[in-house]
Structure 1
Amino acid sequence: MKTVSKLAVSVMAAMTIISNARSADDADDAAAQANNPLANMTAFNMQNYYIGRQTGTSQDANEFWLRYAQPFSISRTNWLLRASLPVNTFPVGNHHETGMGDLNIFTAYLIDVGNPAVSFGFGPQLTAPTATNKDVGSEKWSAGLVNVLFDASSRRFQYGYLLSWQSSFAGSGHREDDNVVAFQPFGMHQLGKGTYLRAAPIWEYNLKNNGYSVPLGIGIGQVIKREKTVYNFFIEPQFSVASKGPGQPDWQIFMGLNLQFLK
């Protein structure tokens, strides 16, 4: 009986070790995919940029973004739809105006590159003038293209980029047209147990007026998996290394909570 009891304990211990190993693997996989903008799962993000000082005004500003992503299929092709809506607080004279900004939607066609750890997609984007007042939006319709890459081949380090271009084609004749290229390189270094270091600045260049912004920064994040939901908290201070034109951030704090809903 003692031998059987010891054997049972040994089997249970082995099962516990295997279960813990699988849980660790699941946690590592969740952490590796938590920042994938093309992940094959529904996602909802709440992200905030607190801009401590803007060029030209030396005043602060804030952009709070709500983002929803939904994968879908057309025939045998796979796509991802992402909709982003900001709530902006911008300085206007001696006060600040707050309101809903312009809605941006893009759809990315996902290409099979032969490596399931690598996500690659491109497609069209559209920005609609949905702002509640002229001080927090562009009053312009814009359209363009996006291209996204995310490489999670390594559980230790993931990287990629989001490249976009859009140009205004309709809207208020009293507002300046936009023709903007934006490049967001990003890298995530996993420290273990869901904690990671991150960098995800957005570099913008306006082809219409030659204005640009080049921030750099490094932050920290924490990924927590609970049943079928992945919670991704992060904060990332960023500082401008080059800029031209008014309204560019001298420094800002990028923070947020990203939610992914597993199938």
Structure 2
Amino acid sequence: MMASTWGRVVLLSALVWGTLALAQEAPAAGEHPAGEGGASEQKLSKDVQNPVANLISVPLQNNTDLGIGPFDRQRNTLNIQPVVPMPLTLDWNLITRVILPIVYQPDTAAELGGTFGLGDTSVTFFVAPKKPGKLIWGVGPALLLPTATDDVLGTGKWSAGPSVVLLVQPGPWTLGVLANNLWSVFGSGDRASVNQLLLQYFITYDLPEGWYVNSAPILTANWEAEAGQEWVVPFGGGGGKVFKVGGQALNGSVGAYYNAVRPDGGAKWQIRVQLAFLFPEGKKQQHE
């Protein structure tokens, strides 16, 4: 069991480092002229709200779920989420989004104790036009890989399904939706089948100097659950700022969401804190 766990750790570490290496070496997907000096904080603020922008980013997103079970336990999930756009053709980009979760799952039947380890890895590929119109969009497959180091941290199933993102950015606003539905394809025969929806709408209003306020709740539905226990529907919001430390562009944000609809024993609140490392195209081109 220990050898299997460490094997997964090594495999996933290679996946993350490989993605980061690709981010450094891949040719820029955009077409800004060389020597532009990097995007401004205001432009970066716009780009970070667009899931299919020509922007390499490595978000570290920490989600703390509060009020789980009869003992009001806490679950913590740190998502490592590299996003790498690459040119597919002269007119199209391929955006790869990976989510590697590191999870602490509490024992909901006791006041103490829980399980810590890796969860299932999500990989989404969006094909998107390089020069979209007013409606920005991307479509592609979403995959769920059974990389969890413990049964309570994952599904035990290889799953796949379609994913789509649609958004518009009029003036200081960004309004959009991202959705996918996954079905289990194969995996452990003694584990439950997977049929789950993820739906995230996002609303952002840009403020001066890289500041913004936003709401980006993640709605989920487990279609295999009992009637009345399928949905998690949060409401809330937060804000953040795009800034630089030295020459490194960063995006920091904080949000809080109340799960108005949730299954029995589900988390009541979620606190989301994120720090994303940004690699604008102009900065890459300065070194080419």
TM-score class, shorter-chain normalisation, is 0.7 to 0.9
- Alignment deviations for residues 188-233 of structure 1 (CA, whole Å, 9 cap, x no partner): 1122121111110011111222511000111121111457643111
Q: Is the Cα contact below 8 Å between 2:47 and 2:55 reproduced in 1?
A: no
- Matches of 1:70 and 1:112 in 2, distance apart? 14
Alignment of 1:38-117 (within 5 A): 38-55=52-69, 58-76=72-90, 77-92=92-107, 93-94=109-110, 95-111=113-129, 114-115=132-133
Q: Is the Cα contact below 8 Å between 1:230 and 1:261 reproduced in 2?
A: yes
Match for 1:182: what amino acid? L
Report what 2:234 is aligned to. Answer: 215
Secondary structure at the residue paired with 1:30?
A: helix
More strand by share: 1
- Matches of 1:137 and 1:260 in 2, distance apart? 29
Alignment of 1:157-176 (within 5 A): 157-176=173-192
Q: Report the CA distance shift for 1:37/1:55 in structure 2 as closer, same or farther (over 3 A).
A: farther
Answer yes or no: is 1:140 the counterpart of 2:157.
yes
Match for 2:270: what amino acid? Q
- Matches of 2:237 and 2:169 in 1, distance apart? 19
- Matches of 1:37 and 1:114 in 2, distance apart? 13
Unpaired runs of 5+ in structure 1? 1-21
What TM-score does the superposition give when structure 2 sets the normalisation length? 0.76
Answer yes or no: is 1:198 the counterpart of 2:205.
no
Identity score, percent:
26
Q: Is the Cα contact below 8 Å between 1:27 and 1:193 reproduced in 2?
A: yes
Unpaired runs of 5+ in structure 2? 1-35, 282-288
- Matches of 1:41 and 1:79 in 2, distance apart? 12
Offset of residue 253 of structure 1: 0.2
- Matches of 2:53 and 2:244 in 1, distance apart? 15
Q: Is the Cα contact below 8 Å between 2:173 and 2:205 reproduced in 1?
A: yes
CA RMSD after TM alignment: 2.2
**Larger Rg: 1 or 2?**
1
Report what 1:234 is aligned to. Answer: 253
